Amino acid sequence: MYRDEFPILDTTVYGKPLIYFDNAATTQKPQAVIDALVRYYTTLNSNIHRGAHHLANVATEEYEQTREAVRQLINAEHRHEIVFTRGTTESINLVASSFCQAFLRQGDEVIVSGMEHHSNLVPWQMACERQGARLRVIPFSDDGVLDLEAYEGLFSARTRLVAVNHVSNTLGTVNPVARMARTAHSHNVPILIDGAQAISHMAVDVRALDCDFYCFSGHKMYGPMGVGVMYGKERWLDAMPPYQGGGEMIKEVTLEKTTYNELPFKFEAGTPAVGDVLGLHAAIDFMQRVGIDTIARHEAELTAYATEQMTALEGLRIYGTASQKTSVVSFLMGAAHPYDVGTLLDKMGIAVRTGHHCTQPIMDRYGIPGTVRASFALYNTKEEIDTFVAALRRIAPLLA
């Protein structure tokens, strides 16, 4: 589906047609996104916002049009609630640094889940260490489902923030973040959602979720690397100090003192990745042309198909079997090391990811070194899954 628009999918690996099942790490790019990057660098390249010349004005206009496209994509109330960053990691670090500087004090608490990507764990550990605060962790079941009763019980008078992923990159679990936001708000606590693994799989409406922050990366939604988004409710962004100092984030600078620019520029110090931002706009247009419902339906079909076939293989165990999950299948085969499985699959042209997937606490929870992770996107096919399952069947005796 829409496969022809992704030139890289014609690649061969070791003489075999590439089967790309590493989409949770990064998605491939449609021609429209590649064209947007080429167009920017061949016709528009210039630094934005401060130029008095044609190229700078057009680039600025297109950069700000992308902000509006992102606003519409996630249904934010205001365009200035959309801050461009380098990716989810930088978005979360921005909040962990800036929000915590303003609102986290000694003895306070931050709630995270036990299934966070390191990007939504380490910045909070660092902030807690800096401020003398502590982390509280929501446990999850063997199926990979968060324990919401335990979550409720973690709130105290010292809770200052909840930070949780919308979708687990390792287990595929779709977490009930709207409900979790309601719980947090009933305790007057804001919630940050790491949407890195949700944004390309489902409609995201930050007002319906009523989240205070929502973070994602362009490269996981068919867009370029180097650009991401931090959405924050205006009242929080207004109350937070800047993250980095430099050009663009200032109103007035003297040697003694600086006053800061208005939103969102207060949080966009320095030259942004203008070309990548324009590429992100092309990715949003592409996803909207295909339709998020079409994408979700196709991926659900692939996931159900793969799960059924894989479950039938002897000795294969799937980690993450929540009823609500995206197109991620993490697994182990017998006692085989995940790296060995990944290497053998690679020799057959099949790209999967192996290891802890930047979620070491999940591996500790299950007492395993890592998993093999196959993750599907809109351009993958059932035929590819057939080839993949046949490959698993072939390599099983080699690993026994």
For ligand PLP, the closer of residues 247 and 355 by Cβ is 355
Stretch binding ligand PLP (CB under 6 A), from 133-141, 155-163, 190-198, 273-281: 190-198
Do residues 159 and 166 lie in contact, with contact meaning Cβ atoms separated by under 8 Å? Answer: no
Catalytic hit among 100, 128, 215, 358? 358
Q: How far is the CB of 194 from ligand PLP (least distance, A)?
A: 5
Q: Rounded to whole angstroms, what are the CA distances from 157 to 125, 153, 161, 240? A: 20, 12, 11, 21
Q: Which of 374, 330, 391 is nearest to 16 (CA)?
A: 391
Q: Using CB under 6 A, which of 66, 89, 98, 175 touches ligand PLP? A: 89
Q: Is 358 a catalytic residue?
A: yes
Query: Cβ 152 to ligand PLP, closest distance in Å?
Result: 23
Segment contacting ligand PLP by CB under 6 A, of 191-199, 248-256, 280-288, 342-350? 191-199
CA distance 90 to 219: 14
HSE-CB of 82 using CA atoms within 13 angstroms: 24
Side-chain half-sphere of 94: how many Cα atoms within 13 Å? 33
Q: To the nearest whole angstrom, how small is the minimum distance from the Cβ of residue 4 to ligand PLP? A: 27
Tell me the two tokens of residue 103: 């609102």
Binding mask 305-344 for ligand PLP (x = CB under 6 A): ----------------------------------------
Closest CB to ligand PLP among residues 24, 392: 24
Question: What is the Cα 271 distance to its own chain's centre?
Answer: 23
Q: Which residues contact 52 (CB under 8 A, 6 or more apart)?
A: none
Q: How far is the CB of 80 from ligand PLP (least distance, A)?
A: 23
Residues 195-214, interacting with ligand PLP (CB under 6 A): 196-197
Query: What CA–CA distance (Å, rounded) separates 66 from 311?
Result: 43
Give residues 4-43 in contact with ligand PLP (rule: CB under 6 A). none
Asked whether the beta carbons of 365 and 140 are under 8 A apart, the reply is yes
The b/e string for 78-106 (b: 16+ C-beta within 10 A; e otherwise) is eebbbbbbbbbbbbbbbbbbbbbeeebee
Q: How far is the CB of 220 from ligand PLP (least distance, A)?
A: 6
Structure tokens at 338: 């995940």
Check residue 87 and give left, alpha or beta (phi > 0: left; psi -120 to 50: alpha). Answer: left
- Whose Cβ is closer to ligand PLP: residue 44's or residue 145's? 145
Residue 169 binds ligand PLP, judged by CB under 6 A? yes
Considering only residues 114 through 143, tell me which ones interact with ligand PLP, judged by CB under 6 A.
Answer: 117, 119-120
CB of 187 or CB of 365, closer to ligand PLP: 365
Q: What is the token pair recorded at 115?
A: 């299934």
Any idea which residues carry the catalytic annotation?
A: 358
Q: Which residues bind ligand PLP (CB under 6 A)?
A: 87-89, 117, 119-120, 165, 169, 194, 196-197, 217
